[in-house]
Structure 1
Amino acid sequence: MDLDRISTRTAELAETFGVRTPEVVAGKVPAYATERLRLSFRLGQPILTVGAGFDDLPPIEQVGALANALLVANLVRTGQTKLALAFAVPFLLICFPLLYLCFYHGYPAWVTLSVFAAFYVIWHLLTVGLRLRRIGYRVDQKVAEVMGREVVDAMIDHDIRNRPSLPALARLYYTIYWPSETQRTQRLDATFGPRTTV
């Protein structure tokens, strides 16, 4: 794997998109990361881990995977405050009155805490799910605007090809938290017109 070439290309793409350049390192990537990239953060700095097999992807998928990772990193990093507010404000407005009612009616502590925990988990999953779906659409839109629709189409094709081979839990995660390939294509069609095949 030519890590210098990947780092250089990542830096070029980061400049093109106007986002922070991540540190690029070689390492182990989970099997469900079919693009052979893993994004993480250390003290707010994005780290892009490139796994074995990245060089085996077609060039258009390599550049698409790098662009996607850069934009996801930027949207996750810059959207932390919004996400916290989107979670906290409605949660507090609904949950605290609910807790007050539980205490007021004299429900046992375990009932009150169970209600609180269940509501917390459900609200967290809902908030994260909505945020990740929005990120998915925004990444597709930006990559198509800057690099052309064919790059996004190549990544959608990559996902369609690799989705069946993912572990069941990963497939469930993507089904719940990420827009489907059909939804992504419909959004792109609405903005850029129907996909052209060569």
Structure 2
Amino acid sequence: MDLDRIRADVENLAAQFEVPAPEVEAGTTPRWCLDGVEPRFRPQQPPMLTIGPAFDTLSPTEQQGALAEAIVGLELQWAARYQVLFAALICLLVPYLLLEVGDRLNILPAIAAWQWGALVLVTCIIGICAASFVTTRKTIYRLDRRTSEVMSRQLTEVMIDLDHRTRTTARGPSGVVLRLSLPSKPRRLRHLHTDPA
């Protein structure tokens, strides 16, 4: 693995997208991560791209696509961070307020307070997960559009294909999260081709 070349590619891509370049390090990435690139945020430090051994198995075009996706994805996730927090706050407050109003109006069945607490907790968890998945899907569509505008539709389609292989290969809890948060390949392609670029 040529980290100097990868760093140069990252800096070049970041300049094309007009975003700050993340740092790059060699390391291990999850087995389900077929592109071998794991973007992550770090407290009080620039974002980091961890490049795993799977990166070397990609074609040069796939490598460019994987790096571009990670760079733009970091920027879009950072920009959308408050959307998830706002959605989580709504998911916490709305069920509580609805149950409180229903209880005061005596339109809810009489059950123990701990049962209401459990109901609010479950509702909140489901709401927060749903909000997170919806926000992630919107971010993915924005990522596809941005990559297509700056690079090319062909490179974006290569990224979508690589993500599709990752989405269908991942198993266990990671696979469930990927299937819920990543739109399917046909949906992404349809969205990409209906977007003006």
TM above 0.5: yes
Contact 1:102 1:112 in 2 (8 A): no
Kindly state the Cα deviation for residue 163 of structure 1 after the two structures are TM-superposed.
Answer: 4.2
Amino acid at match of 1:51: G
Kindly state the Cα deviation for residue 87 of structure 1 after the two structures are TM-superposed.
Answer: 2.6
Task: Report the counterpart of residue 93 of structure 1 in structure 2.
Answer: 94
Q: In structure 1, how many angstroms separate the alpha carbons of the residues matched to 2:9 and 2:23?
A: 12
Q: Which runs of 4+ in 1 moved over 6 A?
A: none
Write the deviation string for residues 13-58 of structure 1: whole angstroms up to 9, x where unpaired.
1121122211111101001111101111111531110001212211
- TM (norm. structure 2) is 0.88
Q: Percent of pairs identical after alignment?
A: 30
Write the deviation string for residues 109-168 of structure 1: whole angstroms up to 9, x where unpaired.
320211111111111011001101001111111111110001011122223445443224
Task: Report the counterpart of residue 27 of structure 2 in structure 1.
Answer: 27
Task: Report the counterpart of residue 71 of structure 1 in structure 2.
Answer: 72
Task: Report the counterpart of residue 129 of structure 2 in structure 1.
Answer: 125
SS at match of 1:29: coil
Q: In structure 1, how many angstroms separate the alpha carbons of the residues matched to 2:122 and 2:105?
A: 19
Task: Report the counterpart of residue 48 of structure 1 in structure 2.
Answer: 49
Amino acid at match of 1:50: I
Q: In structure 2, how many angstroms separate the alpha carbons of the residues matched to 1:3 and 1:139?
A: 25
Query: Whose RCO is larger (CA < 8 A, sep 6+)?
Result: 2
Answer yes or no: is 1:37 the counterpart of 2:37. Answer: yes
CA RMSD of aligned residues (A): 2.2
> Which of 169, 175, 178 does residue 171 from structure 1 map onto?
175
Task: Report the counterpart of residue 4 of structure 1 in structure 2.
Answer: 4
Unaligned runs of 5+ in 2: none
Contact 1:149 1:192 in 2 (8 A): no
Contact 2:47 2:74 in 1 (8 A): yes
Contact 2:39 2:50 in 1 (8 A): yes
Unaligned runs of 5+ in 1: 194-198
Aligned length: 193
Q: In structure 1, how many angstroms separate the alpha carbons of the residues matched to 2:103 and 2:34?
A: 47
Contact 1:26 1:50 in 2 (8 A): yes
